[in-house]
């Protein structure tokens, strides 16, 4: 019995819990998968790109209602990443206005469908 392999006897001697190794058969039948195949299967599984695009579309359509008509043409939603909404501001005055009104804007943004998880606004 090699000492680098774990088994129940060694685990009990070490006073650790034993976790048997599980063997998973490859779905590629022995041939390596290309990076394109891996990327496509990953995107299909989690569907990240579509979700982010949908959020940006929803925010862009309702942006005037969220920030107000007076500054809606001077800023726009740029991206959503890790539940943070990144907003582009045309100048520092608009940026400061958005920072002052962050709580009110965030409250309105969360009422939109699919945007309830947004927890913060960052103005760039």
Using the predicted structure, report yes or no on whether residue 48 has a pLDDT greater than 70.
Answer: no
In a domain, 118, yes or no: yes
What is the chain's mean pLDDT, rounded?
Answer: 84
The pLDDT of residue 12 is 76
CA pair distance 28, 99, nearest whole angstrom = 51
In a domain, 31, yes or no: no
> Residue 104: which domain range?
49-123
In a domain, 88, yes or no: yes
CB neighbour class for 42 (10 Å; exposed up to 12, middle 13-18, buried from 19): exposed
Lowest average pLDDT, out of 34-38, 41-45, 113-117, goes to: 41-45
- Residue 92 in tokens: 């520092």
The pLDDT of residue 28 is 65
Q: What is the DSSP string of 40-109?
A: HHHHHHH-HHHHHHHHHHHHHHTHHHHH-TTTGGGEEEEEEETTEEEEEESSHHHHHHHHHTHHHHHHHH
* Total-model pTM: 0.62
Domain total for the chain?
A: 1
């Amino acid at each position: 019995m090699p000492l680098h392999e774990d088994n129940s006897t060694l685990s009990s001697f070490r006073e650790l819990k034993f976790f048997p190794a599980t063997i998973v058969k490859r779905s590629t039948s022995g041939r390596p998968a290309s990076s394109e195949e891996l990327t496509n299967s990953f995107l299909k599984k989690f569907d990240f790109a579509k979700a982010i695009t949908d959020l940006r579309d929803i925010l862009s359509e309702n942006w005037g209602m969220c920030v107000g008509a007076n500054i809606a043409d001077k800023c726009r939603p740029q991206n959503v990443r890790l539940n943070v909404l990144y907003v582009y501001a045309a100048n520092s005055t608009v940026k400061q206005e958005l920072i002052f009104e962050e709580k009110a804007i965030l409250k309105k943004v969360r009422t939109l469908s699919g945007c309830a998880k947004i927890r913060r606004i960052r103005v760039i």
